[in-house]
Amino acid sequence: MEQTWRWFGPEDAVRLPHIRQTGATGIVTALHHIPYGVVWSIDEIEARKAQIAADPSLGLRWSVVESLPIHESIKIGEGDLTPFFDNYRQSLRNLAQCGILTVCYNFMPVVDWTRTELAYPLPGGGTALRFNMHEYVAFDCFMLQREGAEAEHSPEVIARARAWYERSSEADRRKLLSNIMAGLPGAYDRYDVPGLRLMLDRYRGMDRNRLRENLARFLREVIPTAEEVGIRMCIHPDDPPRSLMGLPRIVSNEDDLAFILGAVDCPANGITLCSGSLGAGPDNNVPAIAQRFASRIWFTHLRNVAKEPDGSFMEADHLGGDTDMVAVVSVLLEEQKRRKEVGAPRWRIPMRPDHGHELLDDVGKPTHPGYPAIGRLKGLAELRGVMTTVAALRNLPL
């Protein structure tokens, strides 16, 4: 597999020479400074490419876009969406003209990946991302005060949430809100509680079927252009794969992925296999999902989570947690072999280590939550060892 690394651009505390030291050669990035719904121009794309390739000795290239974001109006299905679809299609054409042919995106309403703790302490002084169900419920029921929220949670979790809220300070509550908003990358809007309520009001009455249809409409609008210019679109699963704040989530399990791939059944419509996002779903068998959809996996995030009975989970070691990472890697390497044997020109699957622990000298550095250098380097090294061993034992191409 092509070993890649997420880079948030020139302001990222993890610099391009650091990335090369990890052994990764593919860069996964986006033009985070461009607002949602605005065309990515060729000049902007080429400028980012030039930054990545400025030092030829590093041997780095822009391998995957993550993400080309979808304007919220498309998800809601409100107003005249023609300009947003036109702009998205033009961005795809411009990316293809610049030679960047893999585009990761998501369809999560309002918020992106969501955690309640960004620095959960680990033995020895490291930290991890964590989702505490009772803290999320405290936010949903008592800070956001969303109508009907308490009916969606068990009495036991409600009791723990109420206890947390009653003993929390204003600083604790501000921190919880900030943590929940932290999954939105780059310079995008962070909501305060009143602003979040207003955003949720725009989704009032939205159910799974309607949100699914809005996604299917997006796919019908843009996938033909992606197919025409040679781009592989790969949707990222919901993180966590469950409803949040009353918003449906529709990229959470095997049935959801089957619906999405069937909505526009062509190779340009594919998926990002995120073993951590899917792994947070208690009913998801990640190796089985990878096996079923292997031929449409164009990009993969490899990480692991440890789940708890109440719905809480935390980022585990890349080879720890609840998902059999050896089995997942084996499926991906077997799929690469199949692609190579049929003569596919882009047979390698880009992978990146996702959401590393904050370790050693990275503790306290201003990196994006979940994206320190050393924790991801550790994960990449472990995954590289798994890939090398599986490939050798099964005579599979790396």
Across the chain, which has 398 residues, the per-10-residue mean pLDDT values are: 97 96 98 95 98 97 96 96 98 98 96 95 97 98 96 96 98 96 66 92 95 98 98 98 95 98 98 98 98 98 97 97 98 98 96 97 94 98 98 96
pLDDT of residue 191: 84
* Residue 357 annotated among the catalytic residues of the structure: no
Active-site residue 104, yes or no?
no
Q: Give the model's pLDDT for residue 187.
A: 45
Domains along the chain?
Answer: 2-114+201-394 (3.20.20.150)
* pLDDT score, position 33: 92
List the catalytic residue out of 105, 234, 274, 317. 274
Distance CA 366, CA 372 (A): 9
Query: How confident is the model at residue 88, as a pLDDT?
Result: 98
Clarify whether 354 is annotated catalytic. Answer: yes
Tokens 């164009």 -> residue: 298
Spell 148-175 as b/e; 16+ CB within 10 A means b.
Answer: ebbeebeeebbebbbebbeebeeeebee
| Two tokens, residue 37 | 């719904």
User: From CA 334, how far away is CA 86, in angstroms rounded?
Assistant: 38
Active-site residue identified among 301, 317, 318, 357: 301
Cβ contacts of 223 within 8 Å, gap of 6 or more: 233, 264, 266, 268, 269
pTM, full prediction: 0.95
